[in-house]
Amino acid sequence: MSDKEVALVTGAGQGIGLATVRRLLDDGFHVVMVDRNAEPLATAGQALHEAGKSVEHHALSITDRAAVATLMKALPRLDVLVNNAAIFWDGKFDAITEDDFKAMYEVNVVGTFVMAQEAVKVMKRGARIINVASRAYLAGYAHAPYITSKAGTVGLTRGMAFDLAEKGIFVNGIAPGLIETDMFRSLTPERQQELIAKQPTKTVGQPEDIANGIAFFADPRTKNVTGQILTLDGGRSMGISLY
Ligand SMILES: NC(=O)c1ccc[n+]([C@@H]2O[C@H](COP(=O)([O-])OP(=O)(O)OC[C@H]3O[C@@H](n4cnc5c(N)ncnc54)[C@H](O)[C@@H]3O)[C@@H](O)[C@H]2O)c1
């Protein structure tokens, strides 16, 4: 690990998280991969390790404060935390149960809060926290619990940025739009096409596009920016495509 900066990425076993791990490795970080889904995490982590990358992996849930605290205390240093893990499902408002609503909030907001609070205990001045929200925080059709949780992620990002500024810790967020991962592929083909048609660019983004934005906030040269949300969504936040 030598004197490399250390970045921890949650939800690192697949999708945007794994693309972010690869990007941060390329950028010279030692990367700590965290995911609750042990098998794909181990497969991805082992493959990177065998390719000579400076990486380690830990299977745990971001909502398990004791496990999170143990991991944080065991790290020699922590320069970057990428809070990427989240859950998602589509569902019309009147069909959502209270338990489902709470479960999404618990992972997407409380889990992010737990990770950040334990990370801050070991972080030093100049550290960076990047929370992955979603363009959906603005609004969207048939996923009220997800929208609520991602609006919560944005609020948490901005609140943390204020509180942690005096400690010299920068906190920013990323709001991806449609990105081609399992989360997107879990939608029906019809719903996927419906969403792509609304994009001004008529495209679905790739996990690497989001990793690129995360890498900007993770870069130690990115200073004097905190409490910002970078939207990477093919222009969808400007409105629905009119052509
Ligand atoms: N894919 C998209 O279109 C899209 C759009 C906007 C925002 N996002 C956001 O980007 C992030 C990554 O999305 P993705 O598409 O790569 O998702 P994904 O479902 O492919 O991967 C999410 C990962 O998080 C892990 N995870 C879930 N709950 C966890 C927990 N409690 N503890 C630890 N790990 C947990 C899962 O095991 C999985 O490996 C999420 O925050 C998501 O909300 C995705």
Asked whether the predicted pLDDT for residue 183 surpasses 90, the reply is no
Query: Which pLDDT belongs to residue 2?
Result: 67
Report the percent of the chain where pLDDT is more than 90: 91
Q: What is the pLDDT of residues 188-210, one digit of tens each?
A: 999 999 999 999 999 999 999 99
Asked whether the predicted pLDDT for residue 3 surpasses 80, the reply is yes
Of the residues 179, 192, 206, which should be mutated to test ligand 1's pocket, given the most ligand atoms within 8 Å of the CB? 179
Q: What is the pLDDT of residues 62-96, one digit of tens each?
A: 999 999 999 999 999 999 999 999 999 888 999 99
Count of beta carbons in the 10 Å neighbourhood of residue 35: 27
Long-range contacts made by residues 153-156, C-beta under 8 angstroms, separation at least 24? 153/83, 153/108, 153/109, 153/112, 154/229, 156/109, 156/112, 156/113, 156/116, 156/131
Q: Vertex 233, ends 229 and 236: CA angle to 5°?
A: 110
Asked whether the predicted pLDDT for residue 1 surpasses 80, the reply is no
Maximum Cα interatomic distance, the chain, rounded to a whole number of Å:
54
Q: What is the pLDDT of residues 99-109, one digit of tens each?
A: 999 999 999 99
State the closest ligand 1 atom to the C-alpha of 107, by its place in the atom list counted from 1: 31
Q: Whose CA is nearest to atom 42 of ligand 1?
A: 86
Query: Which pLDDT belongs to residue 242?
Result: 81
Asked whether the predicted pLDDT for residue 238 surpasses 70, the reply is yes
Asked whether the predicted pLDDT for residue 123 surpasses 70, the reply is yes
Cα-to-chain-centroid distance, residue 216? 14
* Centre of ligand 1 from the C-alpha of residue 104, in Å: 12
Do 199 and 236 meet the contact criterion of CB atoms below 8 Å apart? yes
Q: Which residue has the tokens 């990428």?
A: 82
Mean pLDDT of 144-169: 98
State the closest ligand 1 atom to the C-alpha of 182, by its place in the atom list counted from 1: 20
* Centre of ligand 1 from the C-alpha of residue 11, in Å: 6
Q: What is the pLDDT of residues 129-150, one digit of tens each?
A: 999 999 999 988 889 999 999 9
Mean pLDDT of 161-176: 98
Query: Which pLDDT belongs to residue 241?
Result: 84
* Centre of ligand 1 from the C-alpha of residue 84, in Å: 6
Q: Which helix (H) or strand (E) holds 204?
A: none
Query: Which pLDDT belongs to residue 140?
Result: 85
Give the span between the Cα atoms of 114 and 212, in whole angstroms.
25
More confident site: 183 or 11: 11
Tokens of 102: 């709470």
What's this model's pTM, rounded to 2 decimal places? 0.97
Binding-site residues, ligand 1, Cβ < 6 A: 10-11, 13-17, 35-37, 61-63, 84-88, 107, 111, 132, 134, 176, 178-179, 181-184
* Centre of ligand 1 from the C-alpha of residue 183, in Å: 7
Give the span between the Cα atoms of 31 and 27, in whole angstroms.
10
Q: What is the dihedral of CA 56, 61, 63, 69, to 10 degrees?
A: -40
Amino acid in position 53: K
Active site residue 146: yes
Q: Which domains does the chain have, with CATH numbers?
A: 6-229 (3.40.50.720)
* Centre of ligand 1 from the C-alpha of residue 54, in Å: 23
Asked whether the predicted pLDDT for residue 243 surpasses 90, the reply is no
Q: Which of 105, 137, 146, 243 is catalytic?
A: 146
Mean pLDDT of 26-39: 98
